[in-house]
Amino acid sequence: MHIEGWSIDAFGALTDVERTGLTEGLTVVFGPNEAGKSTLRHFVLGVLFGFPAGNTNYPRYNPSSGAMRSGRLYLSSDGEDFVLSRLEKKGSRAGESTLLGPDGKARGDAELTALLGGLSRKVYDKIFAIGLDELNDLAALTDGDLQDHLLSAGVTGAGRIATRARNELRDRAGAIHRARAQSTEVAAIREELRAVEARLSEAQHAARDLGERREALEAKRRRADDLAEAERAAERVVQRAERLTELWPAYIEAADARAELDAMGDEAVDLPADTSERLTRALAAVEATSTEIATRTEDLNRALAQLEVLEAGHLPDLAALQPDLAALQHRLGGWAQQEEEARTRGEELAELKRRLAAELDAIGVRDATELTRIGKVVAARDHLKVTRNAFDEKATARRRAADDVEMQSKEVFEAEAAAATATEAMETAPGDLSAQSLRIESDRAAREALLLDRLSEDLKDLESYRRDLAAAEGSARSGDQAEAKATSGLQPRHVLVGLAVALAVAAVAAGLVAGVLAGAVLGVAAIVVGGASLAVAAGSGDHLDEGARRELAAKIDIIERKCVDTAQILGFAGLPEMGQVAAAKAERDRQSAALTALVAADNRLSTARAAMRAKKDHLAELSRAHDRALQAWQEWLAEHQLPAALRPEGVDEWLTHLDSARALADQISVAERRLSELHSALEEAPKSVIELADRAEQASRTPLRSGGPSGSVPVTVTPPRVDSSIGELQAVVAAIAEGISQAGDAEREVARVRDQCEVFRGELARAEKFAAEARADLDATYATAGVTDEVQLRRRLAEHERRGVLTRDIAAFERRLATESGSQAETDRTALAERTPDEWVAGRARALEEARALATERDEVLREVGAIESEVASIEESADLPTLALQREELVERLVRSIRSFTVLHLAAGLIDRTLERYLDERQPAVLQRAEAHLDKITEGRYTTIRLDPADDATPRLTVVDAKGRPHEPRGLSRGTVEQVYLCLRLALAEQHHQSLPLLLDDILVNFDPERAETTTRVLADVAQNRQVVVFTCHPWVVEVTESVVPGLHLVDLESRVA
């Protein structure tokens, strides 16, 4: 494949640049700096492999104009031409490419890939692109790197060096794992694993010790229990010694008491226990009863004196009045109720009379006495209601008729308003709005509308004929031949047209003269037919002769005049425009509609007024019937002497008032009778009270003596009047009752003092009886104790008390011994009898010492138990084992991954190594041979051989041998020679590639001297025999050298931008 040219739409600084005509062989692209040489080279690569995206190391060359990168390459492969276009596109990493084949049809991506030998840009760069920068870089390389570069140049081309890649992989693998190395990743994991496994082993051993620790725990617990038991035994010894020591004093006291009791003998041991209490109680009772007797005697004497005083006084005999007083008080209650009823009844009577007066007034009667007479009218009640109903019907009918009249008057009003509106809508309403006038007006409007339509049609025709005439005249002027043809070509059709026009003129004239629309229509129709024929003739391209044109002009004249006449009829000044006619037609349509509305409104108004008149007549008839019924009613009232003011519509209310008045009159009659009865009954009350007051005053006329115990007030009352109210009478009776009550109180006081005297006598008798009993009890106490007086008895009591004290002391000791010694009581008793406190104190001290020793040992054992328990619990609850196991597994996993990574890197490095080895064995010889040939030619036989020598690290070293067989390390060669060796290897590698792709060389000659530049150019020319070689340079001398070596060199001068 080779490049035949390019067309750059936009790429970096280059826009709209096109070159074609490049051929296979050597091409030099010349351009000074900034001429776009590098841009062009990147453009070529960009179109071939894709425009670089932002995330690559290649420059993007975005157009400064902001346009998208785009352009195309013209390619040739195996004699076929292709066009490869590429357009930068968002979302597409490399831009959108299109490959057109020789047939102009688009080819698929596979064909492009095949065209490029399946290479990526990276690989292409490494094999087929050689740049000055690569050559320059060689100068800065160390010996080893230079070896690598040169070796790689013949193996992988430029860029990544296989040996370096391999060595890096080895380094990475070595960082992970190396046999016997301690600083690798795997070694670190190994150490961690060993440590964790050691800890894990310890934890497992600890877990296995669990059973043993549990047995030790049980043994310690048993020992602790034994020690606790021994300690408790020692404590019991201590406690017994302390108990006996404490019991010792009580024991001694009890022994002394027993001795004293034995010495007292058995006298008076049977004295009752309560003797002392009985003596004290009996003596106290004797003394208390004596005091009681004295007190009761004094009380009795004082009451008897008081009774004597009271019984000596005189008491009024008022008690006999008590029954009469009670009866009178009861009757006064009844009278009070009657008096209240009389008052209430009086008020009710007054209210009834007021209401009756109101009812009489309501029914038009002056006196209640007339009610009886009027009551007879009740018999005529039905008649009243029937009359009233008939009257109501008439009144209702009249009201409805009146409503109808009202409604109709509204309709008349609305019809008048509608007529007024319709009238206003007409700008020129007819002065006479009669139906006849309106119809005439309507007909006139219709005619005008028709005329307007016709005028509009005529105007259209007129305009059409004028155009035809103008066209005919134009044709006539265009040539004699046409004219002759038109003249000789007069056809029967044209004769017919002439006749039609003549007829039309005559008809229109007749129509206008007669003013008959039909005639005008006929005329116009004829003109239209004739004109149409003429128009057809003109439009068809036929030429009209002069006569025909004149006929057409005459027809136009006729229609024009007809239009003027019609316009005059319609009120236009002169011949109107089409627009004016249309406006007039619209105005006429509007007026016609208004007129129609006016006629409708007028009809509605007439109808409404007729209906109004009919309804008013009906109302008048009903009013007259109503008046007649009213007159009959008045006559009937007079006949029955009923109030003339009674209206039929008030009959129901009047009858209600009448019934109410009659009921009230009845109630008043009953109330008056009851009031009379009450007044009669109340006249008895003052008499009865006056009588009782007189009797009371008489009974209390003798006053009481002063100094009495109570109630010494005489009964005095003010006698009542005969017209006193019941309340006043009740006050008098209350005063009498108060006097009677006071007399009763005095009598009750005498009785009370008498009863008190009897009580005092009874109490005195009981006190005397108690005194005798107390005396007898004291004597019995003496007798029981066998003594005769108090002194003897008290001596006997003292002896008895001492014996009791001694006995209780002995009993207290026995109880204490039983309580404190319990089952050991008898043993303790024996001990108390046989030993002394000193012995017990000594024994206690020994036991205490033993208990302390035992407690100390037990504490130690318990501490050990606690420790073992913690240990066991720790083992049982410990998560160390699973945690360590987890850590171990994590480390193993890390180890697995590290070993795997090591293996992968090792394998990868080995793979490169093997490939390199095979490459050097199988492919390198051909590359080297070709490179040697190039180097020989470039150095003109000075260096003839490039050799690969084995080295220590299995990577061969490259040696250059001169013509005399002397080997040279690359570092020992001049810079230019090293660059030439490198170039030879690169060229040889490219030549060995099975794809014949263009070699792109960027100013590779600049570091060469003129001779080497020339010889190198010759080598390039050799290479260009089999593939396209494009040399980019900015040096004119390179161009000159190349042109001198390669006659007819294809030069692309970027400055001229012309191919």
**903-942: contacts with another protein (CB under 8 A):** 903-912, 914-916, 918-919, 923
Q: For another protein, give the closer residue by CB, 125 or 551.
A: 125
Distances in Å between the alpha carbon of 1021 and those of 24, 759, 926?
Answer: 11, 175, 20
Q: For another protein, give the closer residue by CB, 192 or 814.
A: 192
Distances in Å between the alpha carbon of 806 and those of 250, 253, 266, 611, 674?
Answer: 12, 9, 14, 150, 108
Q: For another protein, give the closer residue by CB, 705 or 994.
A: 994
Q: For another protein, give the closer residue by CB, 175 or 509.
A: 175
Q: For another protein, give the closer residue by CB, 214 or 281.
A: 214
Taking contact as CB under 8 A, which single stretch among the options 239-247, 337-345, 432-440, 897-905 is the one that binds another protein?
Answer: 897-905
Taking contact as CB under 8 A, which single stretch among the options 162-170, 580-588, 626-634, 732-740 is the one that binds another protein?
Answer: 162-170
Distances in Å between the alpha carbon of 819 and those of 250, 822, 824?
Answer: 14, 5, 10
The answer to whether the beta carbons of residues 158 and 134 sit under 8 Å apart is yes
Q: For another protein, give the closer residue by CB, 103 or 921.
A: 921
Residue 12 falls in which region: left (phi positive, over 0), alpha (psi -120 to 50) or beta: left
Q: What does R_g of the chain's alpha carbons equal in angstroms?
A: 81
The answer to whether the beta carbons of residues 2 and 48 sit under 8 Å apart is no
Please report how close the Cβ of residue 1040 comes to another protein at its closest, in angstroms: 35
Sheet holding 1050-1053, edge to edge: 129-131, 999-1002, 1029-1033, 26-30, 1050-1053
With CB under 8 A as the contact rule, the residue among 162, 318, 608, 736 that binds another protein is 162
858-887 residues in contact with another protein (CB under 8 A) are 875-879, 881-883, 885-886
180 is written with which tokens? 């016997």
Taking contact as CB under 8 A, which single stretch among the options 719-727, 782-790, 900-908, 1013-1021 is the one that binds another protein?
Answer: 900-908
Q: For another protein, give the closer residue by CB, 57 or 488.
A: 57
Q: For another protein, give the closer residue by CB, 82 or 902.
A: 902
Q: How far apart are CA 880 and CA 207, in angstroms?
A: 10
Compute the half-sphere exposure of residue 387: CA atoms within 13 Å on the CB side of its CA: 22
Please report how close the Cβ of residue 192 comes to another protein at its closest, in angstroms: 11
Q: How far apart are CA 414 and CA 408, in angstroms?
A: 10
With CB under 8 A as the contact rule, the residue among 89, 164, 385, 388 that binds another protein is 164
Q: Does 165 bind another protein (CB under 8 A)?
A: yes
Please report how close the Cβ of residue 975 comes to another protein at its closest, in angstroms: 21
The answer to whether the beta carbons of residues 29 and 998 sit under 8 Å apart is no
Please report how close the Cβ of residue 90 comes to another protein at its closest, in angstroms: 15
Taking contact as CB under 8 A, which single stretch among the options 361-369, 407-415, 597-605, 895-903 is the one that binds another protein?
Answer: 895-903
Q: Does 155 bind another protein (CB under 8 A)?
A: yes
Nearest Cα to Cα of residue 133 among 199, 221, 53, 41: 41
**SS3 labels along 519-561:** HHHHHHHHHHHHHHHHHHHHHCCCCCCHHHHHHHHHHHHHHHH
Please report how close the Cβ of residue 211 comes to another protein at its closest, in angstroms: 7
The answer to whether the beta carbons of residues 425 and 598 sit under 8 Å apart is yes
- Token match 């004929």: residue? 465
Contacts with another protein: how many residues (CB under 8 A)? 75
Q: Does 146 bind another protein (CB under 8 A)?
A: no
* Strand duo 96-100 + 106-107: pairing: antiparallel
With CB under 8 A as the contact rule, the residue among 112, 449, 899, 1021 that binds another protein is 899
With CB under 8 A as the contact rule, the residue among 236, 897, 942, 947 that binds another protein is 897
Q: Does 357 bind another protein (CB under 8 A)?
A: no
239-278 residues in contact with another protein (CB under 8 A) are none
Q: For another protein, give the closer residue by CB, 4 or 913.
A: 913
C-alpha angle 405-408-411 in degrees, rounded to nearest 5: 160
Please report how close the Cβ of residue 912 comes to another protein at its closest, in angstroms: 5
Please report how close the Cβ of residue 1001 comes to another protein at its closest, in angstroms: 19
The four Cα atoms 421, 427, 428, 434 give a dihedral, to 10 degrees, of -20
702-731 residues in contact with another protein (CB under 8 A) are none
Please report how close the Cβ of residue 945 comes to another protein at its closest, in angstroms: 24
- Per-residue binder mask for another protein (CB under 8 A), 104-123, x = binder: ---------x---xxxx-xx
950-1009 residues in contact with another protein (CB under 8 A) are 992-995
Nearest Cα to Cα of residue 438 among 601, 550, 298, 570: 601
The sign of the CA dihedral 639, 643, 648, 653 is negative
With CB under 8 A as the contact rule, the residue among 609, 626, 894, 1018 that binds another protein is 894
Please report how close the Cβ of residue 122 comes to another protein at its closest, in angstroms: 6
Please report how close the Cβ of residue 155 comes to another protein at its closest, in angstroms: 6
Q: Does 159 bind another protein (CB under 8 A)?
A: yes
Taking contact as CB under 8 A, which single stretch among the options 7-15, 70-78, 728-736, 892-900 is the one that binds another protein?
Answer: 892-900
Q: CB burial class (10 A; 0-12, 13-18, 19+) of residue 941?
A: exposed
The answer to whether the beta carbons of residues 654 and 363 sit under 8 Å apart is yes
The answer to whether the beta carbons of residues 1016 and 985 sit under 8 Å apart is no
Q: How far apart are CA 588 and CA 591, in angstroms?
A: 5
580 is written with which tokens? 């004016």
Q: Which helix (H) or strand (E) holds 497?
A: helix 492-514
172-191 residues in contact with another protein (CB under 8 A) are 177, 179, 186, 190
Q: For another protein, give the closer residue by CB, 177 or 278.
A: 177
Please report how close the Cβ of residue 195 comes to another protein at its closest, in angstroms: 14
The sign of the CA dihedral 455, 457, 458, 464 is positive
C-alpha angle 103-104-109 in degrees, rounded to nearest 5: 100
196-215 residues in contact with another protein (CB under 8 A) are 204, 207-208, 210-211
Taking contact as CB under 8 A, which single stretch among the options 158-166, 223-231, 275-283, 802-810 is the one that binds another protein?
Answer: 158-166
Q: Does 90 bind another protein (CB under 8 A)?
A: no
1009-1038 residues in contact with another protein (CB under 8 A) are none
With CB under 8 A as the contact rule, the residue among 99, 161, 257, 1038 that binds another protein is 161
Q: Does 895 bind another protein (CB under 8 A)?
A: yes
